[in-house]
Amino acid sequence: EIVDHKFSPMFGGERAVKISGELAGYYRETAKRQGCAFLDAASVTMPGAEDSVHLDPEGHRVFAEAVTEKLREILRERKEIKMSSLYKEIKRRYEVWRENALQDPELVQELEEMAGNPDKITDAFYQNLSFGTGGLRGVIGAGTNRMNIYTVGKASQGLADYINRNFYGTDRRIAVSYDSRIKSSLFARRAAEVFAANGIRVFIYSELMPTPMLSWAVRRLHCAAGVMVTASHNPAQYNG
């Protein structure tokens, strides 16, 4: 930690820089390696006191460079530590999925192919897929940051909890529809299974339908909510 950084008239107009005692030696050695001359190379070290290192103009230049490099080194170390801790959690999530996410063969294969690739593992697991203006939407694939039967099931459970807290008896109804996108019918069935498991009556179309048909079903069947599996205008690898 740099305690103070200031230039002040001292010792016949020369400038002094006050720094913490821990770093003073580092800066002094750096300047010596660069061949800089000190007006006063000695320092007084006392408990709780700072060293005063008095430098000539060239020493000031080296000091500034040393400060910059030291701060960059500290920031790099902190970032590496933070990223290391974060990746441990990401890797833990990946291993949980690799061991337990066995219901979709395509996801099993993708998880196996990720092994040994930190970049792919991080991209797939560094966050939970979140709701945006277009609903829950993302790239289809394995991971908490992807659209798959597990993220769909998790979101469906959340909606089921809401319905069961706020609606009663025969009002607990949900309509489900899906379009022609990749795995839309699979995701729709998974959502319907979760709702049914929570005691909610589910109305699901037997074939793909456009979004307005879901709106009609919600009103016509007096549902508390409706789920449309679609990713609208997004690229083909997306669903939502």
Residue position matching structure tokens 């990946």: 94
Choose, from 85, 130, 180, 232, the residue flagged as catalytic.
Answer: 232
Q: How far, in Å, CA of 190 to CA of 66, rounded?
A: 59
How is residue 71 written in tokens?
A: 């701060």
Q: Residue type at 223? A: C
187, 107 contact by CB (below 8 A):
no
84 is a catalytic site residue: no
Q: How far apart are CA 229 and CA 175, in angstroms?
A: 11
Distance from chain centroid for Cα 238: 20
Pairing of strands 131-132, 135-136: antiparallel
What DSSP assignment string belongs to 43-57?
Answer: ----TTPPEEEEE-H
Residue with tokens 């006050």: 18
CB count, 10 Å around CB of 162?
A: 12
Sheet of 201-204: strand order equals: 201-204, 173-178, 225-229
H or E element that contains 108: helix 105-114
Distance CA(129)–CA(21), nearest Å, equals 48
Cα–Cα distance between 186 and 156 in angstroms, integer?
13
Catalogue the active-site residues.
Answer: 232
